[in-house]
């Protein structure tokens, strides 16, 4: 019996913003159901919008980010910046596709 390898997903800020959805996605990734990925730009956006929308204080938003990074250190994507300019999608989302 062949077992399919875990799927991969880039978690954008819109799915990480909701506490419930973020928790579910984090737990599923920790359990090995899929491989989660994000970059610093995505985490910056989550942190900034949590504070902007009044869902967190700057300190609690930062704490959430640090806990996410500690829980899934392998999720951090680096070295994609040189590919951003070649992406043809919306300029605000090119870092995700890159």
- Tell me, yes or no, if the pTM score tops 0.75: yes
Residue 11 near residue 38 (C-beta atoms within 8 A): yes
Q: Say how many residues make up the chain.
A: 98
Residue by residue, pLDDT tens for the chain (98 residues) are 667 767 999 999 999 999 999 999 999 999 999 999 999 999 999 999 999 999 999 999 999 999 999 999 999 999 988 998 998 888 888 888 88
3-state secondary structure of 34: strand
Task: Give the distance from CA 79 to its chain's centroid.
Answer: 16
- pLDDT score recorded for residue 1: 61
- pLDDT score recorded for residue 36: 97
- pLDDT score recorded for residue 72: 98
> How many whole angstroms separate alpha carbon 29 and alpha carbon 33?
6
Q: Which residue has the tokens 């980010």?
A: 65
- pLDDT score recorded for residue 8: 95
- pLDDT score recorded for residue 39: 96
Quick one: DSSP state of residue 10?
E
């Amino acid at each position: 019996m062949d077992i399919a390898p875990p799927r991969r997903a880039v978690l954008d800020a819109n799915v990480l913003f909701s506490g419930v959805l973020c928790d579910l996605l984090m737990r599923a990734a920790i359990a090995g159901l899929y491989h989660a990925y994000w970059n610093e730009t995505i985490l910056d956006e989550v942190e900034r919008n949590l504070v902007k929308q009044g869902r967190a204080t700057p300190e609690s938003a930062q704490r959430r980010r640090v806990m996410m990074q500690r829980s899934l250190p392998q999720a951090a994507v680096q070295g994609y910046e040189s590919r951003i300019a070649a992406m043809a999608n919306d300029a605000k989302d090119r870092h995700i596709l890159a």
